[in-house]
Homo-oligomer: A and B are copies of this chain.
Amino acid sequence: MRDFSQNRSALALNTATLGHNMPGAGAGWSAEQTVDACAQRGIGGIVFWRPEIAGQAAVIGRYARQAGVKVVGLCRSPFLTGPLSLQNPQDIQDDFYKAIDETAALSGDVLTIVVGGVEAGTKGIQESLKHVAERVAAVCDYAAQCGVRLALEPLHPMYGGDRSCLTTTRDAFDLCDQIAASNLGVAIDVYHVWWDTDLPNQLKRAQGRIFGFHLCDWLGHTTDFLLDRGMMGDGVADLRGLRNAVENAGYAGFCEVEIFSAQNWWKRDPNDVLDVMVERFHSVC
């Protein structure tokens, strides 16, 4: 049997994989139970969602550290633009600060930024990307003071209208170049970028700015925009190639498994999901 002990620490769980972030879905485990389940399997890192740690970030962060599980990060910033945002710029900024505070309280390393969609009354993405740039630039110093790194996550272009006018790694590094804050980088999620032949070129621009790498799989026939992600190996993404590309670009952090799957993985026993996830990470990534 292959010995995975050397690289097992590279695996992290994003709790979305167990449906934790959706009320009524998933395992129903507490944050502490989820930490324990990771520790038992040698899963070395965990990423929480804000509702799971609200009001008890410091306690949960301490619990994870004591269990030997690193809090890799927190999902996520508020939408900064578009129809799903809080609309009022002050409300958006206040919640952005709050998300940074929560990441710091957890002793989390990275807060993921999902930027939001196209601003009302505008066409195309350029105007919205300008608003994103302003709203991210406004919080970088504060995040740095809190010891928090910020990762811009380009989402799949199918979310361009409502969830993320930031759709490519190219645009994400362009934003990083423009804002030029040392604690601002990019999260690469295979679900969002697997189709992009320009990715290898863009990763040459990384220069230490890849702050996260997310795993799942793109199912050959995807049936739902949001909640039909596949387990690694069940889809068509070249996971090994993508992981190599990101690691060759200098990334040495966790591989974070994040699977939104309302009709399949969220319905299974969470212990089984974690077991399959560990096995697949080693066999197909």
Contacts and interface: CB of A to CB of B under 8 A. Distances in A.
A160 B195 contact: yes
Nearest to A220: B161
A280 interface: no
A196 interface: yes
A157 B160 contact: no
Nearest to A218: B161
B197 A171 contact: yes
Contacts of A171: 197
Contact of A198 (B82, B170, B220, B236): B170
A148 to B, nearest CB: 28
Q: How large is the interface on A (under 10, 10 to 19, 20 to 34, 35 or more residues)?
A: 35 or more
A2 interface: no
A238 B124 contact: yes
A207 B34 CA distance: 57
A83 interface: yes
A82 B236 CA distance: 11
A197 B125 contact: yes
A256 to B, nearest CB: 20
Contacts of A240: 123
17 contacts: A117-B236, A123-B236, A123-B237, A123-B238, A124-B237, A124-B238, A125-B197, A157-B196, A158-B222, A160-B194, A161-B218, A161-B221, A162-B220, A162-B221, A168-B196, A168-B198, A225-B225
Given A125-B195, A162-B221, A167-B196, 15 more contacts: A82-B220, A83-B220, A117-B220, A123-B236, A123-B239, A123-B240, A156-B157, A157-B158, A157-B195, A158-B158, A160-B194, A160-B236, A171-B197, A198-B198, A225-B225
Interface of A: 82-83, 117-118, 122-126, 156-158, 160-162, 165, 167-168, 170-171, 174, 194-198, 218-223, 225, 235-241
